[in-house]
Structure 1
Amino acid sequence: LKWLLWIISSRLSSVTDNTLEVALNEALKAGYRHIDTAAIYQNEEVVGKVLKNWFDSGKLNRKDVFVTTKLDPTTMDPATVEECLQESLKKLQLDYVDLYLVHFPITIAKDENGENYGRTDIDYLDVWKKVEEQYDAGRAKSIGISNFSIKKIERLLKNCRVKPANNQVETHVYMQQKELFDFCTKKGITVVAYSPLGCRGYNLFLEGIGQQTKEVRDIVTDETILALAKKHSKTAAQIALRFLVQLGMAP
């Protein structure tokens, strides 16, 4: 099974809908069967359009593709969880998603100066209870979390009815998340690594939320990675991805 992780937000980058459409079509032709999107990426409609074409043509059945989407952290509220998932399903032109993630453990809002902050009046436990209801209703075949620390997962496990199936976190050779991965594995929670080649678009994200940019190391030009790539006749990206696969993660 090949994995396609759409971590590109058309809102935060210069990637056009047409580029995403072409890329997704080519990925499906190549055999990719996992599509990871999110409400905040603002590309669910493109994903839905492409998938519908593949389904209508008979080239692909719904059961053949695994679709993940996520609850928008900027509007996350227990009262609107169902509405948000229904909106995602409408854009994706699907009756259900295979995995629905709580994108962040906090709801992100802006103050009067336009600065981002985490709202303290919304508890992710209350949000999770509503996500569990979406699982019960069949709109999400499985449910999970993203960007959750060990401490937050422990609190969730003590208070949940349906255990999260997956935790999606930034993981790569520069941020290996061993302690978190071992904890999740022990608890029966799978881990998906986002930004497996590093956060090359991190500064675009920081600029998008009005934060100061930082120096970001580039995995695919790392001398050690390049030396390993040369030794094994692989690309730097293949080495970085293989590292995660051998750890037991899905990059």
Structure 2
Amino acid sequence: MMKNKNLGYVVLSILLVFISIIAFVIPTEKTGTFWITYVFTTIAILAQIVIWKNTLGKEDTLKSKFLGLPVIHVGIVYLVVQIVAFAVFTAVPTLPIWSAIVACTSILCFSVVSMIAGEAGRGETEYVESKVQKKVFFIKELQTDVELLIDRETDIEIRTALQQLAEKIRFSDPMSDDTLSKIENTIAERVAELKTESDKMSIIHELDSLLAERNKKAKILK
């Protein structure tokens, strides 16, 4: 990732040099519109470094970086549009200065607003996914605990009952809710008791009932 990012910086540097050479070599009148659009174009190129650094430079997960791609896309579109505007105002130096200011400022503002919206969407997506992960953690942890008990169980009858329990857990509603915390805590306590109690079969039967009750309540909440 770092290598690709550094390569991108090199490309941006080459682009800035290339545009500058073309702009100053072409025999056009260097009016106020030229300098205004040239400055805005330079800002657009340098802005890519800031955008890439903030979007890809964080110590985030690959998924988080992927969600940041729309922001990078907006940044690239902003750069392309600004370069086009620079080309137009360079080719037509007689255009009034105010038109260059309005055009470049509008391009910049629309781009910034779009990038802010994209970053906000990224943050909201990550927040929602984080909440979902927390809500499905209970069932995943519960299934793991029961599967570990199955691996350690030597009694065939209890082992079979645990396998059936694990199957019910696997097909249980994965989404949790604050209103289910009481019954889920009870389920977790009963599973913990399976590690020490001798009458495991009665606990398994109780867990069957608790799971059925929990799943019915979870269904009502939807």
- TM (normalized to structure 1)? 0.21
Rg larger for: 2
- TM (normalized to structure 2)? 0.23
More helix as a share of residues: 2
More strand as a share of residues: 1
